């Protein structure tokens, strides 16, 4: 668990360093704010198994090599591939969690029915409106 936390910290740091080096402060803020949002709302991340970690490491290594070789176009293409694959993996993980959650009983909440109707029952784990 501690090694995974270190890996995830190194992963986000890698991306933030590249964004800052590129002078892309807006994107650096978006990434940092997104990470904060995940922590505040305890949103689960995808499972980081050996396949995912190895893939991320490989992308980071190739991106860094392209930067060291002063080949920004190659670095850009590898970064785009990395982001697209990471997004695809994260969305698939989210879909799997949603499917698993759909089979669970709704969490009792004790809210009045009219409030639930106004909120839309699905927000709190009830039936969709």
pLDDT one-digit tens code per residue, 64-116? 999 999 999 999 999 999 989 988 887 887 787 777 766 655 555 566 666 66
2 and 43 in contact (C-beta within 8 Å)?
no
Of residues 82, 80, 63, the one with CA closest to residue 21: 63
Structure tokens at 20: 């800052």
Structure tokens at 25: 């402060």
User: How many C-beta neighbours within 10 Å does residue 31 have?
Assistant: 15
Of residues 96, 97, 104, 93, the one with CA closest to residue 127: 104
Structure tokens at 44: 């689960």
In the predicted model, what is the mean pLDDT of residues 14-35?
86
pTM for the model stands at: 0.63
């Amino acid at each position: 668990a501690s090694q995974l936390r270190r890996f995830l910290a190194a992963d986000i740091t890698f991306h933030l360093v590249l964004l800052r080096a590129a002078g892309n402060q807006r994107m650096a803020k978006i990434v940092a704010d997104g990470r904060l949002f995940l922590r505040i709302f305890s949103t689960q991340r995808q499972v980081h198994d050996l396949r995912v970690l190895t893939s991320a490491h490989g992308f980071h290594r190739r991106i860094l090599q392209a930067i060291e070789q002063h080949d920004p176009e190659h670095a850009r293409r590898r970064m785009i591939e990395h982001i697209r694959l990471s997004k695809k993996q994260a969305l698939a993980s989210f879909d799997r969690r949603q499917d698993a959650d759909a089979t669970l009983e709704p969490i009792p909440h004790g809210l009045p029915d009219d409030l639930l109707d106004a909120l839309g029952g699905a927000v709190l784990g009830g039936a969709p409106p």
